[in-house]
Amino acid sequence: MAPKRSRSATAEAAAEAEKPLTRKPPVAKADAPASAADGSCPNQDLIDVFESLLVYESKDGNKWAGVAYRKVVNVLRGLKTKVTSGKDIAHLDGVGDASVKKTTEFLTTGTIKKLDELKALHGALPVGMVSPSKSGGATTGKAAKAIAAEAGASPPTKAQLKAIKDAAETYESQSLQSLKDLCKLNKQVMSGTKSELVQRCAEGKVLGQTPICPFCGGGKLRYEIKTGMYRCPGYTDDDSYKPCVFLSGTVVRTAWLEGA
C-alpha cells in the first residue's frame, strides 16, 4: 500500500497545483546561462525527473501533486536557458516552493529523495512508457500519431489489417457467449457489444494477447489500432477505482489461444 500523505504535504501540493501556468517576464541577468547550442531542450534532465515524479504520484492517486509536477514540466519545456538552481525558476508562475526545493536538491545532489522513495516503493518505470505530461490525453489525430511515432509504436501492416479483417469475418459466425469465453481464455476484456468482441478477438488472433498493465498491475490494456499505442484505463479494486497513466507503444503480446 502507498504511504499516507500528511495533511500538510497534501495542502502544499494542492497549493502548487492551484497556481496558474502563465509565466512572468524573466528577471534579466548578466550571467544568464546560454541556451543549448544544438537547439535541444537545455533542461531535459530536470524534465525527466519531474515527469517521473508525476507518473509515480499519479499511480498513488495524488491528484494535486501530479497537477503541480505537470505544470513544472510545462514551464521547463518552455525555457530556452539552462536552469542551474531552483532560484532560476522561483519567480515563474506555476512553480511552487516545493518544486523549487526539489530542483535545487537535484541540481546539487543529482537525485531527489522523494523520487528515490517512490522508486523503492513501486519499482522502476516500464521501458517505453510515455509521460502523461507529454501525451496530454491525445488518443487520435496528428498529436496522437506524433506521440506514437516518438514512442516507437508500430501500427498493423497492410497484411496484418487484412488478416484481422478475415479473422473478424470468421468470428462473426460465433455466438456472443463463445466470443466472451474466448476473451476470458485469453485474459482479455469480456464486456462490450458483439461487434466489439469480434474485433477484439480478431486483433488478438493476428497480433496476440494484450497483457495486463506492467505499471499498475491491474488494468487491462486498450489498443489503438490506428496508432499502435497501448493505454491503461485503470481498474477497480475492492469497489475502489484505481486510475493509471500508462501509455506505451512497445508492449509485448503473447500468442492467442483458440481453445478446444
Where residue 79 sits, what CATH number does that domain have? 1.10.150.110
Handedness of CA 71, 47, 243, 201 (dihedral sign): positive
Residues 176 and 197 in one domain: yes
Residues 140 and 115 in one domain: no
Alpha-helix runs per DSSP H in 110-227: 113-122, 132-135, 141-150, 158-171, 176-185, 194-207
Domain end among 125, 147, 167: 125
Active-site pick, 59, 71, 102, 180:
102
Range of the domain at 96: 7-24+32-125
pLDDT band at 151 (very low <50, low <70, confident <90, very high): confident
Residues 16 and 102 in one domain: yes
Whether 183 is in a domain gets the answer yes
Residues 149 and 213 in one domain: yes
Residues 11 and 68 in one domain: yes
Whether 2 is in a domain gets the answer no
Residues 11 and 119 in one domain: yes
Whether 65 is in a domain gets the answer yes
User: pLDDT value at position 67?
Assistant: 85
Residues 116 and 144 in one domain: no
- Residue 33's identity, in one-letter code, is P
Residues 146 and 118 in one domain: no
Domain end among 94, 125, 156: 125
Give, for 74, the enclosing helix (H) or strand (E): helix 63-78
Q: What is the pLDDT of residues 8-56, one digit of tens each?
A: 555 555 455 444 433 333 333 323 333 344 447 899 999 999 989 988 8
Q: Say how many domains are in the chain.
A: 2
Residues 118 and 12 in one domain: yes
Whether 198 is in a domain gets the answer yes
Q: What is the pLDDT of residues 189-238, one digit of tens each?
A: 999 999 999 999 999 999 999 999 998 889 999 999 999 999 999 888 88
Is 102 a residue of the active site? yes
Radius of gyration of the chain (CA): 22
**Structure-model confidence comparison of residues 176 and 66, the more confident one:** 176
Whether 187 is in a domain gets the answer yes
Residues 117 and 196 in one domain: no
Residues 62 and 111 in one domain: yes
Whether 229 is in a domain gets the answer yes
Whether 70 is in a domain gets the answer yes
Whether 259 is in a domain gets the answer no
